[in-house]
Amino acid sequence: MRSLVLVSLLLLAAPARAQVELSFYGGWQGAPNSGVTIAGDAAIPDTDVTAGWEGRPFEAPPQYGIRATWWTQGGLGFGVELNHAKVYADAETLAETGLDRLEFSDGLNILTVNGMRRWPGAFGMATPYLGAGVGVAVPRVEVVGEGSETFEYQITGPAVSWMAGASVPITDRWSVFGEYKGTYSRNEADLAGGGTLETDIVTNAVNLGVSFSF
């Protein structure tokens, strides 16, 4: 978290010749199956299953992201990002575990410090870019079973992200972009009944967004 604050201060102190870009995006997002282990909860039986995850990116609250990047003249960028991803256990997983709810729907929040590279003018007006980030997962853990209800935000473990896309200017300050974005997070959450839930989650998204530069 200290790294996120430090990079934010560097963005605010960026020299005039550099460019600060604020980006906002949303789009389609899903997640492949992954293992879920529940252990030690007083009300929920010990569970070790392969969960099927649904993204439901357009249901409220939708999948979205906010990114701030400080671009140098050499095409390198540094910044911070919040990606509000989401996953819901499917009906088959709920039936297998006996749970009424198992989800990170508000959301599977991924906070990262990013490194970026872009190539202005490489394809005419379009500027391609690549990036990756490291940080933490801060999901809202929602696990509900008979006699046990967990609804709270937790820092559940480390996370990484990666992205590839291209932007196109529409004015001197505004541009639009499309990108692929992936995340990986290791999550160990505390349950209200005293146990833990562990799962590693990968998300894949195709996003559209808008950026403002100054």
Condensed to tens digits (0 to 9), the pLDDT of residues 45-54 reads 899 999 999 9
* Lowest-confidence segment of 13-27, 35-49, 57-71, 107-121 by average pLDDT: 13-27
CA distance 127 to 170: 12
Mention every residue, 6+ apart, whose C-beta is less than 8 A from residue 2.
Answer: none
Given a cut of 60, whether residue 13 has pLDDT beyond it is no
Domain extent listing, the chain: 2-213
Strands 76-89 and 127-137 turn out to be unpaired
Q: Taking the model in full, what pTM does it have?
A: 0.88
Coil, strand or helix at 98 = coil
Give the sign of the dihedral formed by CA 122, CA 124, CA 126, CA 127.
positive
For 77: left if phi > 0, alpha if psi spans -120 to 50, otherwise beta; the answer is beta
CA distance 136 to 155: 7
How confident is the model at residue 127, as a pLDDT? 96
How confident is the model at residue 122, as a pLDDT? 85
Q: Could you tell me the CA-to-CA distances from 16 to 70, 76, 81 in Å, in that order? A: 11, 16, 22
Which CATH architecture best describes the domain 2-213? Beta Barrel (2.40)
